[in-house]
Structure 1
C-alpha cells in the first residue's frame, strides 16, 4: 500500500471531475479522503450521468467511477444546523479541504477558507473555480475549450470546430491544484502554517496552450485547424494508411529520425533540399505527406511498426479505447475490486521505496460511510448520530 500520505485527512467538497480527481490522487497516495455530498441533490451530480448501457438502480455510474475510488462518503446538508456542526467537527480534525463553489456561495454557506481556518488554522484549503475569485460565471469544460482557443484549433482544415472528447481543461486544472496543495503541505511541514490555494479553469487552460501560445505571442502566428498535424514539425502527428487498412501515426522530431524513416520505407534520394531538414519539411508538408502515403500504402502495418521500432522512429497504430484495454498494456493502471474493474488510477508515478497500491476501495455509494465517520472519527453517541439521520 502506498503510505506516503498516511495519516493525512482530506475533506472533499467538490463535484464532477476536477476537484474529485484531486481527491482520488490524494487517496491513492495514502490519504483518508472523505467526500462530503449534498443529500438534497442525491450527491455528486455525476452519480446520475449514465450511459444508455448502464442499467440498475446503483448510484455509482461509470462517470462517477472515473475519479472517486478510495474515498469515504457522507451526506451532509450544510444548511441543516446539526449537519453543519458535524462538518465543522470534521474540519477540526482534517488537514486538507478540496472545494469548488461559484463565487460567493462558499461564504454564504459558511464553507469558505476563512470560516474553516478559524476552526483549524493549520488547514490547507484548495479550491477550483471557473474564472477566478472575482468572476461569478460558472465554468464548464466545453465552454472553457471554446473560450481559450482549444476548440478553434481542434478539427480538420476547413472543417467545424470540435471539442476534445475528454474534459481536458478540468484535468489540467486538477493537476495545477494538486501541485498547489502539495506545495502548501510542504510549507506547512516547515512552518506549521496552513494556506488557501486556488486555481481557475481559465488560467489552467491558457497556461496549457504551450507552444501554440508562443507561436502567436512570439511569432505572430494565429494557430488554426491542422487535423493531427503539428505547426512546428513535420511529419509529426501525421496519419498514414497501410496496405491492410490499418493507420499509423508518425512523430518524427529530428532529421536523424526522418532519415531512418526514409530508409525503412525504401525512399531513395529523399533527403533532398525539399526535405533535408525540419524547416523545409514544414514548408513542403503537403508534398511530403503525399509521397509518404504512397510508401505506407505498400506496407503491412504490424511489420512496418516492428521495423520502425527497431530504428527508433516514433510511431504507433491508431487504436480505439477498446483496443487499448484489450491489449493488456494498461492493466497495471486498472483499479480492481474483487474480479471487477471499477476505475483507473490517477496517480501513476513510480517512486523509490513507495509502492503503488495494488487495490484501493471502489467508488462509494452515497452516505456509505456515515456511521463509521461519526462513530470512529468523531466519537458521536447514538443520540448525536440520530440527529443526523
Structure 2
C-alpha cells in the first residue's frame, strides 16, 4: 500500500481519469476530486439509467470510478477558488487531469504552472488525441477511428461499439503505469514528472495482435464475431442441450484432442482437416458445425465440469447479474453501510493485506 498522507488531486471527469483517482484511493491515498462549479460537477452525475431517480447525484455510472474520494467544488475562473486549489497543489503528490490541449493553460492549472508551486509534483494528463490535437476525446469516436468498431460484431453485421468505454479503461491503465513509474523516479531523484497518455494511442497499442496482423502479415483484419483469426476453436460460442451458451478457447492441439475425447468423438481430432491449429483455422466453418452437433448433446453444466476436469479451456456465457455471483467478483465488491456496492479498481492483492474500506462516491456539495 502507499502512505496515507499521499495527496492526489483529480481534475478529471467521466471514466479514465476518475478510475485512476479511485485506484490511488484504494491504495491508501487521500484523493480530492475537484469538481467544476459551473457544470455542477462531473458530467457523469447526470448520466442516469431510466430506472434511476432523477434526483440522484451519484448514479451508477458515477459510482463506477469515484469511491474513496472527497469532493471539492471550485470555480477555477474565480481568483479565490484558484488560490484554494493552489494551496492544495503545493502539498500534492499527484494531479490527474483530463483537459483538452490548451485548456489547463487557460485555467492556469497546467503542469508548468503547478510545478513552480511544487517542483516534486507528478502531473498525469489524459487527452483524446495528444498535445497537438485539440479535439475532445470520446470513447465511441476513438473506438471507431482506431478499428475497434470495425472489428467488433458479426461478419455480415454493422460495426459495433464495445459495451464498455474500453478506450478509457486502456488509457487509465497506461496512466496508472506511468504515474507509478514517475513516483518511483521521484524516490530516486526527488524530481516531479509530466506523464501524458492519449485515448487514441492507448487504443492503437491495444490493437495488439490485430495490429501486427496488418503490420507483419499484411492481413487487414475483418469482423469475425467472437472467432479468433489465428486460432480455432477460440472464442467460438456454442449452444448446449439445455439451450445455454458456452465458449471454447482451445490454444493447442493437445487441448483439442482432449476436447474431442470429452465430446465422445476422438476421430475428429485425428481427421487431417482438424489435427493442427493451422488446419483447423483453414476449415473453421466445417469444424464449428461438427462441434455444435456434438456439444448440443450435453447440458451446459455437465459438459463444463467434464471439460474443466480435463483442463480444456471453456466457460459459460454469463449475464452481468450472473458475474457478480462468482466468488472472484464478490471479492472485488466495495462495501459501505447504507451504500450500494461498487467495484474495486485494484484487481490485485498486495502483501496479503485486506482491501481498504472506502467511503462511497461523494455527493455534489458546493461549500
What are the superposed Cα offsets for residues 43-73 of structure 1, whole Å, 9 maximum, x if unpaired?
0000010011001522111100000000010
| 1: CA distance, partners of 2:151 / 2:54 | 40
Contact in 2 for aligned 1:4/1:354 (Cα 8 Å): no
1:341 alignment counterpart = 340
Task: Report deviation, 1:137.
Answer: 1.1
SS at match of 1:101: coil
Contact in 1 for aligned 2:142/2:167 (Cα 8 Å): yes
1:79 alignment counterpart = 77
Alignment of 1:105-144 (within 5 A): 105-144=103-142
Q: Does 1:26 align with 2:24?
A: yes
The answer to which of 56-65 and 243-252 deviates more is 56-65
Structure 1: tracts of 5 or more residues without a match = 369-388
1:103 alignment counterpart = 101
Q: Normalising to structure 2: TM-score of the pair?
A: 0.98
Contact in 2 for aligned 1:146/1:152 (Cα 8 Å): yes
Pick the aligned partner of 1:227 from 219, 222, 225: 225
Pick the aligned partner of 1:154 from 142, 152, 155: 152
| 2: CA distance, partners of 1:12 / 1:259 | 52
Task: Report deviation, 1:327.
Answer: 4.4
Task: Report deviation, 1:272.
Answer: 1.6
Q: Does 1:92 align with 2:108?
A: no
Contact in 1 for aligned 2:4/2:29 (Cα 8 Å): yes
SS at match of 1:97: strand
Alignment of 1:183-202 (within 5 A): 183-202=181-200
SS at match of 2:200: helix
SS at match of 1:86: helix
Task: Report deviation, 1:194.
Answer: 0.4
SS at match of 2:224: coil
Contact in 2 for aligned 1:334/1:341 (Cα 8 Å): no
Contact in 1 for aligned 2:339/2:360 (Cα 8 Å): no
Task: Report deviation, 1:330.
Answer: 1.2
| 1: CA distance, partners of 2:186 / 2:354 | 25
- Over the residues paired in the alignment, what is the CA RMSD in angstroms? 1.2
Contact in 2 for aligned 1:5/1:26 (Cα 8 Å): no
Task: Report deviation, 1:39.
Answer: 1.1
Alignment of 1:1-389 (within 5 A): 3-55=1-53, 57-270=55-268, 271-338=270-337, 340-357=339-356, 359-367=357-365
| 1: CA distance, partners of 2:351 / 2:98 | 33
Task: Report deviation, 1:351.
Answer: 1.7
| 1: CA distance, partners of 2:359 / 2:186 | 28
SS at match of 2:63: helix
SS at match of 1:269: helix
| 1: CA distance, partners of 2:266 / 2:56 | 61
SS at match of 2:229: coil
| 2: CA distance, partners of 1:186 / 1:163 | 37
1:384 alignment counterpart = none
Structure 2: tracts of 5 or more residues without a match = none
Q: Does the C-alpha gap of structure 1 residues 5 and 149 become closer, same or farther in structure 2, counting only changes over 3 Å? A: farther
SS at match of 1:63: helix
